[in-house]
């Protein structure tokens, strides 16, 4: 689960960078960097044996699901909102399973 959170964090960071490059969106860059860092920290916490990191990752993932769902509803575009929404839902399912849900 820890590695999955770190990989997910890198994907989110990549999405923020892509948003900045394609649309010049500083908000995407900042939020991608902050969210990606929070996910990487939660993954590191899980790897070090701190189960709370998993719950922290669930919270960040839930917030990202809401953001990407609102963006997808507004734009109806698969890239990037729909794709990141799908990845976030998959990550939520992984976290739910791993945390004993």
Enumerate the domain spans of the chain.
2-98
What's the pLDDT tens digit per position in 50-93? 999 999 999 999 999 999 999 999 999 898 889 999 999 999 99
How much is the pTM?
0.92
Instruction: Please tell me the predicted confidence (pLDDT) of residue 33.
Output: 97
The half-sphere exposure of 51 on its side-chain side, counting CA atoms within 13 A, is 4
């Amino acid at each position: 689960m820890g590695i999955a959170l770190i990989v997910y964090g890198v994907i989110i960071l990549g999405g923020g960078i892509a948003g900045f490059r394609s649309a010049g969106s500083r908000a995407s860059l900042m939020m991608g960097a902050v969210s990606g860092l929070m996910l990487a920290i939660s993954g590191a916490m899980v790897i070090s044996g701190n189960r709370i990191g998993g719950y922290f990752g669930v919270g960040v993932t839930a917030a990202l699901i809401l953001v990407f769902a609102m963006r997808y509803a507004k734009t109806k575009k698969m890239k990037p909102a729909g794709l990141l929404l799908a990845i976030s839902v998959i990550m939520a399912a992984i976290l739910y399973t791993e945390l004993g849900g």
